[in-house]
Amino acid sequence: MAYSDKVVDHYENPRNVGTLDKSSSEVGTGLVGAPECGDVMRLQIRVNPETNVIEDAKFKTFGCGSAIASSSLATEWVKGKTIDEALTITNTDIVKELALPPVKIHCSVLAEDAIRAAIGDWKKKNNVTETAGVAVAAAH
């Protein structure tokens, strides 16, 4: 199976590899795994508390090329988006962008999970209540 050019590009030049300060209240961390293949992915976001805009994102993934490319792309996409906008990213978007074959769809699922988990962590830290669809920011 051949990887698409975009996967190869992200794999060879991954964007935003690294770590943000986990203890900061502005940072949300998502650690997720795909039991199908044993991959593990950590995605972190730093959110501006005034605007709810994701100003920085970092990832570290142990897994195949597609998993690395999916998380690299995910960090690129969430940057500059608000929390609510970032939540609209789905694994299907990632599959399309990277032209992932069916056997690698779980990698894109993992990346979507990682975004959601990071946002969930940030919300928990900042007492943002979780509601269906719309997130309501509580005063903090």
Q: Which residues bind another protein (CB under 8 A)?
A: 31-38, 40, 42, 60, 62, 90-91, 105-106, 109-110, 112-113, 116-117, 120, 130-133
DSSP string computed for 101-132: -GGGHHHHHHHHHHHHHHHHHHHHHTTPBP-S
Sheet strands (E) in the chain: 27-34, 39-47, 54-62
Nearer to another protein, 5 or 124 (CB): 124
Of the residues 8, 17, 31, 37, only one is catalytic, namely: 37
Q: How far is the CB of 21 from another protein (least distance, A)?
A: 17
Task: Tell me which of 73, 107, 109, 110 is the catalytic residue.
Answer: 107
107 is catalytic: yes
Q: For the CA atoms of 60, 13, 77, 126, what is the dihedral angle to 10 degrees? A: 30
Q: Is 50 helix (H, G, I), strand (E, B) or coil?
A: coil
Between 7 and 109, CB nearer to another protein: 109
Both tokens of 119, joined, read: 């946002």
Smallest distance from another protein to CB 40, Å = 5
Smallest gap from Cβ 31 to another protein, in A, equals: 5
Which residues participate in catalysis according to the annotation? 37, 107
